[in-house]
Amino acid sequence: MRYKIAFFGMVFCTLFLFLPPSLESGTLTSVFRVTDQPAAIVRGTSGSTLTVNISFGDVEVENWIRELQAPYPLLLVDMDWADRFPETVRQINEKNIPVGLLGNSGTAYEEEPALLADQLKRFETKFGAKPLWFRTMDERFPASLKKQLWEAEVNALGSTFIWSGGKVPPPQEGEIIAVPHHRHERVKLSALDSLSKGRTFRPLEDVLFSTTVKTKKIPE
């Protein structure tokens, strides 16, 4: 009997070490459980990653994509923009730059339930695969949209902070930085160099896939 108790005790300790419990349920969760409950990812645990929201721009964006070097930022792309600039889309595909879907405002998906399915289909046509990442224009994810994303197996991605130019904040571990490039809110792509001072940008997956990842619960 004592041997059995000792054996099960060793098993329990091993599981505890390699599968630590989530802390502050709803705030921290194991990265391997990210898809176990609907949540918008807003932060990882180490390093910094850059994401750029693109819904506007022609020559500037095309030239920036042409000169872009790895490690690449994650591009969140509006599908109307992608339809207008197929040559830039071709460059993104050729360079294998990671790309996700940039949607409308969160409320648009409550008003038009079929909108997400249409955008996912258009994205797959342009980029050859369903997006792994999805972000609304305002980073709001209502319950109905959350459910659709869950069923489509697409991750809701927010950000730690949005940089719209100006003073660059000090680095934070696990930060996901969002930079807007829209008609009415636009950071010049040449200004992104200032963000890299004091930071070494890493792919989003590297920042997220650590022991734990911070998430923001989506309100029902």
Give the CATH number for residue 182.
3.20.20.370
CB 218 within 8 A of CB 143: yes
Domain count, the chain: 1
For residue 132, tell me if it sits in a domain.
Answer: yes
What values do phi and psi take at 43, rounded to 5? -165, 145
- Pick 123 or 6 by higher pLDDT: 123
DSSP 156: E
For residue 11, tell me if it sits in a domain.
Answer: no
pLDDT, position 186: 82
Q: If pLDDT is split at 50, 70 and 90, which confidence band does 7 have?
A: very low
Q: State whether residue 185 is helix, strand or coil.
A: coil
- Kindly state the average pLDDT of the residues 103-123: 97
For residue 90, tell me if it sits in a domain.
Answer: yes
pLDDT, position 171: 92
Whether residue 69 has pLDDT greater than 70: yes
- Kindly state the average pLDDT of the residues 36-59: 89
Beta strand segments in the chain, E: 28-30, 40-43, 48-54, 74-78, 99-102, 133-135, 155-156, 161-162, 175-181, 212-216
Report CA 46 to chain centroid distance, whole Å: 15
Whether residue 5 has pLDDT greater than 50: no
Domain range for 127 is 22-216
For residue 73, tell me if it sits in a domain.
Answer: yes
Average pLDDT across the chain, whole number: 82
For residue 2, tell me if it sits in a domain.
Answer: no
For residue 91, tell me if it sits in a domain.
Answer: yes
For residue 1, tell me if it sits in a domain.
Answer: no
